[in-house]
Structure 1
Amino acid sequence: NKKVISNSKFQIPNFNADTLKEFKIVFICTPNNLHIKHTLAAARAGCHLFIEKPLSHNLKDIDKLKKIIKAKKLINLIACNLRFHPCLQFVKRYLDSKKIGQVYAIHHEFGYYLPYWRSGIDYTKNYAAKKSTGGGIILDDIHEFDLLFWLNNFKPVKQSKFIYNKISNLKIETEDCCVASFKFSNIIASVRCDYLQQQESRHCKIIGEQGNLEIDLLKNTVYLNNKQGSKNIFALKRKDDNDDYLGQLKYFLNCVNNKKQTFNDISTAQKTLEYIFNR
């Protein structure tokens, strides 16, 4: 019995829908395919909602959830912790201040080897390997899609194209490689992501009217490249990955305490999912 195991081994108490009414906030950190089911239960109980990304593995019942949230005035956040990464916060301010003029293109890449990603866990049994649990590199890497739309201030997508497949010999049911292209009114953008790279890679290039930004999220650096040459304009010598999560948590709790809706609520996350699922 899983409930007995969670109680005895991990000392995690079990709750049902009725006991949720005792709580002010619920954190949804279950497999992707269970997010909406569990979020609906918590919302009906009147709890503010912190939901691990992605919001869901499909678009079903999101509108139903939004109605409950609106009626009960619930604060909610879809957890995309990279928005709290110091490099990316610097880049967002840099772009918003028009320091490279008009942005022409944004290109994200993220790749890693799935069997190495979660230490001590059999990747073939993890949610990422199965369609039924909302796995696959596209949803697993929704961070890069969220960042793309966020950096471009969620301007409407005019056209998109996804090319994806399972091309490796990994023992998974889901796609392991994807290239997605987007046309906005102002820019062309792309996201490349995969489960295949033996050495993790995570970077972004932003092409602007007055120069390019090169962001390396593993080295925590930002370079400005223009006709004068290449200049390091941001570097973080030491970074604890937990800082992103702590910053995100503090932000959410502050929003709850001040009764202020978050900048990545369910309506915002729904737009990202719609662009992905309507491919």
Structure 2
Amino acid sequence: MPPRLISRILIVGLGSIGTRHLRIARELFSDADIQVLRHQECQVIPKYADGCFSTMEQAVAFLPQIAVIANPAPFHIPVAQRLADVGVYLLIEKPLSSSLDGVTHLIETCQKQGTVLLTGYNLRFLSSLQRFRNLLLDDTIGRVFSVRCEIGQYLPSWRPDTDYRQSVSARHELGGGVLLELSHELDYLRWIFGEVEWVNATLSRQSALEIDVEDTAHLVLGFVPDEDNFQLIGTVNLDFIRHDTTRSCTAIGENGTLRWNGLTGVVELYEAAAKEWRELFCHQHHRDDSYLAEWKNFIDCVNEHKMPLVTGEDGFKVLEIIEAARLSAASGRQVTVATMAPILTNEM
């Protein structure tokens, strides 16, 4: 990964995740010209940046080679499309957008330009989740009968130094709500278990938090049946209300149960004849680990013209699941997931 090939970098958005990307970009590319695009004029140049733009025209004129799109989700596509049109390689934070509008056109533009579009579902880069996936693919527990996934954290405790009511997570207009904000789970489930065929969902605001979005989502997912016409059923619980922060996935199979703890990095196995859990893997991740791995994958793909681990199509398919969940919650019925995602080629 020769950093000297990258000399102009654009970071769009300077919230918590944009700031993280800015810092990592400077660590990886100490001599690059790194500019930030914000919706308001910068009174002071942000730490780690060389300058700051307040208009899209300025950003395009800068001719960045790569850009990280980390503004609120409803504004991802308009900004990314302008940059894709001029051949910029893109890392777009998750979710890819807050709706399906314009996403297909963006993906097709990147294909025509021969540029990379990586969707920022960084959990795929965790070594513990990779081990969990590989153990399942190796039939460690045989056929998987059921999968149960859970993520919960009390929203005001996410960033204690800020007013949660003003956060992206809390505001509909900025793409908030658990379904979009915690969509990592939907991405890694289809990465591990395959495409989702249908969704049955309930979305609600259970707490007294001062937000205008759902704080709780319960999803039942039916995955596309295998060659034997067996259909795996999974459940996903997402919330902003849980004080005992948790992130886990449990796969129940014919020969035992495999469990991933996303907070501790532990993967455990309970074999059919056993009477206790056995630890198979443990790696306590540092906060930057998955982001650094994501960046390295992104730059490798830019330099070597390869497909990223998490493509634009992957981001689109998560949005299809989200749209099906919204329709299900509104109608009170099971909804089939649309299959409108563009077909990606292996050629860049």
State the partner residue of 2:148.
107
Q: State which of 126, 149, 162 in structure 1 corresponds to 2:201.
A: 162
1:249 and 2:295 matched: yes
Unaligned runs of 5+ in 2: 1-38, 226-230, 326-348
Q: Structure 1 CA distance, aligned partners of 2:305 and 2:44?
A: 34
* Matched-pair contact (CA < 8 Å) for 1:20–1:47: no
Say which SS state the counterpart of residue 23 (structure 1) adopts: coil
Residue 262 (structure 2) pairs with residue 217 (structure 1): yes
2:42: which partner in 1?
Answer: 4
How many pairs align?
276
| Residues 81, 106 of structure 2: 8 Å contact kept | yes
8 Å contact from structure 1 (residues 17, 42) kept in 2: no
**Shift of residue 10 of structure 1?**
8.4
Aligned-residue offset at 1:270: 0.6
Give the alignment's TM-score, normalised by structure 2.
0.76
- Structure 1 residues 177 and 8: CA distance shift in structure 2, 3 A: closer
- Give 1:96 shift: 1.4
Aligned residues: percent identity?
Answer: 29
Q: Do structure 1's residue 173 and structure 2's residue 212 form an aligned pair?
A: yes
Map Cα deviations across residues 91-131 of structure 1 (whole Å, 9 max, x no partner): 11111112211111211100000011023111101111111
Q: 1:128 aligns with which of 144, 169, 178?
A: 169
3-state SS, counterpart of residue 260 of structure 2: strand
Cα 1:84–1:16 change in 2 (3 A) is: same
Pairing 1:56–2:97 present:
yes
Q: Which amino acid aligns with 2:56?
A: N
Q: Deviations over 1:142-191 (max 9, x none)?
A: 00111111111x33x23211111111100000000010011122311111
1:1-279 aligned at under 5 Å gives the runs 2-5=40-43, 7=45, 12-14=51-53, 16-17=56-57, 19-20=59-60, 22-152=63-193, 154-155=194-195, 157-184=196-223, 185=225, 186-226=231-271, 227-229=273-275, 230-236=277-283, 238-279=284-325
User: Is the Cα–Cα contact under 8 Å of residues 55 and 270 in structure 1 kept in the other structure?
Assistant: yes
Which ranges in structure 1 are unaligned for 5 or more consecutive residues? none
For residue 264 of structure 1, report the CA deviation from its aligned partner.
1.6
Pick 1 or 2: higher relative contact order, CA cutoff 8 A, min separation 6: 1
1:3 is paired with a residue whose SS is coil
The one-letter code of the counterpart of 1:84 is F
**How far, CA to CA, are the matches of 1:126 and 1:175 in structure 2?**
14
What secondary structure does 1:132 align onto?
A: helix
CA contact (8 A) 2:84 2:90 kept: yes
CA RMSD of aligned residues (A): 1.8
2:259 is paired with a residue whose SS is strand
| Secondary structure in structure 2 of the residue aligned to 1:82 | helix
Report if the CA contact (8 A) 1:17-1:45 is conserved: no
Shift of 1:32: 1.1
Q: Structure 1 length as normaliser, TM-score?
A: 0.93
